[in-house]
A and B are shown apart, each in its own frame.
Chain A
Amino acid sequence: DAKTTQPTSMDCAEGRAANLPCNHSTISGNEYVYWYRQIHSQGPQYIIHGLKNNETNEMASLIITEDRKSSTLILPHATLRDTAVYYCIVRVEAGNTGKLIFGQGTTLQVKP
């Protein structure tokens, strides 16, 4: 499975958009990009996933570059409750048990 690279930490002002980058330069054509987050002392929570096209849901938007070598998770209006570790995961879909391989993630600190 493709490896991902994320910044260790980022800050964001409350109410502003938080843009979290992820590099996956060795991604294969059949590998999806997934994002989970983990708020302190809780289990991870699914945010969004995509293959080629940009995706949006009630939590966030996922922008995937045309060459698929990188992506950006966007939280449009960050709140203090969005402070968490954000994990970008790349994984092949077909024949997969679904187990998640987590990296170190990005610690996002939303500040008032």
Chain B
Amino acid sequence: GAGVSQSPSNKVTEKGKDVELRCDPISGHTALYWYRQSLGQGLEFLIYFQGNSAPDKSGLPSDRFSAERTGGSVSTLTIQRTQQEDSAVYLCASSSQWGLNYEQYFGPGTRLTVT
């Protein structure tokens, strides 16, 4: 079956512009996670959704970052007024339930480059 998909696969933007990154989780998966991976920081957790609500936003690095999820499915991560330090690969993962006993399936990521 279809896995987690993300779009775009690559995004180049100018400093100060806003960007939206999209994640389509596996159908029926209630839990959705955003992570980012940059050279200096490794893989970092950003935000977690259970259904449409986000009980854990502790990893969002600043108020320029926000995310929403609609219909318990698609999620969008928005970065406002992008900065060069936002350059990273943004990864989305979904699992059938919350909690660690449920395998997380990762998408291929969106590579964001801020010039």
| Interface of A toward B, CB cutoff 8 Å | 32, 34, 38, 41-46, 49, 87, 91-93, 96-105
Of B45, B55, B59, B108, the residue contacting A43 (CB under 8 A) is B108
Interface of B is mostly: strand
Interface of A is mostly: loop
Is B107 located at the chain interface by the 8 A CB criterion? Answer: yes
| Interface of B toward A, CB cutoff 8 Å | 4, 31, 33, 35, 42-45, 48, 50, 55-56, 59, 91, 93, 95, 98-109
- When A34-B100, A43-B93, A93-B99 are in contact, do A98 and B31 touch as well, CB less than 8 Å? yes
A-B contact count, CB below 8 Å?
67
CB-based nearest B residue for A44: B106
Are B56 and A93 in contact (CB-based, < 8 A)?
no
Are A43 and B98 in contact (CB-based, < 8 A)?
no
Which residues of B sit under 8 angstroms from A46, Cβ to Cβ?
A: 103-105
